[in-house]
């Protein structure tokens, strides 16, 4: 356990940087999914013929 805590202390800057990068990439991915998914969901809810094609492509 002591070695692990020493590792965290010695690598804290890099761990913090990598954590921020991970959070940034995750938020970017979620935002992109929302930007594509919500309008597409509204479209297929209004036009049932597109639902099968869209869900088949996405699935």
Please give the average pLDDT of every successive group of 10 residues along the chain, which has 59 residues: 92 95 98 95 90 85
pLDDT at 50: 87
Tell me, what's the pLDDT at 36? 93
The pLDDT, as a whole number, for residue 54 is 85
pLDDT at position 57: 85
Count how many residues are written for the chain. Answer: 59
Q: Is the pTM of this model over 0.75?
A: no
Q: How far apart are CA 16 and CA 24, in angstroms?
A: 12
| 27-51 per-residue burial string, b: 16 or more CB within 10 A, e: under 16 | eeeeeeeeeeeeeeeeebeeeeeee
Number of Cβ atoms within 10 Å of the Cβ of 15: 13
Angle (nearest 5°) at CA 48 between 46 and 53: 120
């Amino acid at each position: 356990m002591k070695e692990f805590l020493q590792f965290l202390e010695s690598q804290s800057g890099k761990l913090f940087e990598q954590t921020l990068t991970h959070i940034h990439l995750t938020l970017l991915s979620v935002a992109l999914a929302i930007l594509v998914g919500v309008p597409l969901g509204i479209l297929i809810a209004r036009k049932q013929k597109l639902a099968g094609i869209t869900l088949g492509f996405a699935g």
